[in-house]
Amino acid sequence: MKRFLSIIAIAVMAIVSASAAPQTVASIGSTPYYNIHEAVEALTSGDVLTLEADIDLSGGEGALEFASDDLYCSLDLNGHSIKRNACPIIIRGNVELYIYGNGVVQCEIEDAIQIYNGGTCYIDNGTFVAAESYGIFLSGESYAEINGGYFKCSFAWAIDQEPGFEGSELAIFGGYFSEEVSEDYLGSDVTFCDPNKDALTKDEYPYVVTTAVASINGVYVYFDFPSAIADMKDGDVLVLESNVTMDDGINFEGLNPGSYTINLNGHWVESNSEDGTIYIGSDNITVSVTGSGDLVNHNPEGCVVFVDNGGFFADGGNYYSTTSAPIFAINDGSFAEINAGSYSGSLLFDPEYADILVYGGVFSTQVPESKLGEDCHIENYGTVWVVIDDNASAIKPVLFNNKSKAVKTYENGHVVIIKENGAKYDLAGRRLK
């Protein structure tokens, strides 16, 4: 009998112990956190704070305050919610916060998000509810950018105009709203606020803001990227007006012979295509890429640019392969010419036989000497190599603080200056880890 009771006692203790185990409410990388405020306090630049559970702060707990000096980080709602009677998220000072993850930020009596004293917030998606107040409140030269999401608020935003607190800005490129968005706050001249025609959402969110994905020759505006490519003609310049994510890459098959240009215009195109983020399949077609922006491929069997037939000119942009796959694959009879840009990843699928010449650019791997253009040489800057055209280089070393020779490149979407000794700095001259 005593043994039986002991077994019961052990079982009860195990149940109590399991029920008393702390719940992981958030994580930063592989580190779990059981208290959301401790997780926020632990953030450093580059971190992603991921919610692992719904957060209820309505019992009197303080807001999630992102106020560390010189911090840029992300909040992945991960499908969860943050609720508080007063404002649940406050951004203060030199902080950049990116919010995404299709969760809910809800406030009963105040604003869903408040941004003060130069803070910055980028919202890609999610639902923001403020039944009696503003979705976003900005004060003191702060900035907010809305690229998507649902805003169910008495008013979607407010910008403080009190003396000493003015100067904030708001740019809206996309999203669903419970009130009409004034042209003053639309993010660009190809961003529009229209009545929402979606039967499932139009009652709660009668207005939708959309931004064109591309324009051709500054005249024709497109909201569907494949349609924009299909309409291109010889000599056309397609300008990206917003970021593009697609399973298939940009395919120039089917177009008439000619020369085509894509101006990235500060945006990115990313794909999972095995045929490349850009695919050129006709020997009578050449494609040029210009402007700043990113071309990214995530397929381990793919590449960023696949020149099956034809030609390619890289006159700008940042090229990323996020796997071990190369940036370029160039078949026999095709060619590529690199004049500018930055390249992160293995450069070539078949470097011995690929017809490619490099006249300028910043590379994460060394460019074979046989691929350098005439009168060009390569220099090493710690973790990157720079190809320099001795006659007229599109990329030249710069002076760091007007003293030391250095080069500009891009890492994780930020401009990085690398000195000859390999040390990295941001544009403000602060040394990076």
DSSP string, 167-221: --EEEE-SEEESSPPPGGGBSSTTEEEEE---TTTTTT--EEEEE-SEEETTTEE
Number of other residues whose CB lies within 10 A of the CB of residue 361:
27
Q: CA-CA distance, 383 to 365, in Å (whole number)?
A: 8
Q: Is 194 helix (H, G, I), strand (E, B) or coil?
A: strand
pLDDT profile of the chain (433 residues), mean per 10 = 49 49 91 96 94 93 90 95 95 95 92 94 94 88 93 83 87 92 88 91 92 89 91 94 91 92 94 95 91 93 94 93 92 91 86 84 90 90 84 47 51 58 61 63
Which of 185, 162, 150 minimizes the C-alpha distance to 116?
A: 162
Q: Is 225 helix (H, G, I), strand (E, B) or coil?
A: helix
Q: CA-CA distance, 46 to 90, in Å (whole number)?
A: 19
CA 118 to chain centre: 21
DSSP 311: E
| Contacts (Cβ under 8 Å, ≥6 apart) of 213 | 222, 223, 224, 225, 228, 240, 241, 242, 244
For residue 161, the one-letter residue type is Q
Tell me the pLDDT tens digit for each residue of 133-188. Answer: 888 999 999 999 999 999 988 777 888 888 888 899 999 999 999 988 889 899 88
Q: CA-CA distance, 121 to 277, in Å (whole number)?
A: 29
Tell me the pLDDT tens digit for each residue of 332-343. Answer: 889 999 999 999
Q: Is 125 helix (H, G, I), strand (E, B) or coil?
A: coil
DSSP 366: P
At 18 the pLDDT is 46
At 399 the pLDDT is 38
DSSP string, 399-410: EETTTEEEEEEE
pTM: 0.70
Q: Domain ranges for the chain, please list them.
A: 16-211, 214-396
Q: Is 110 helix (H, G, I), strand (E, B) or coil?
A: coil
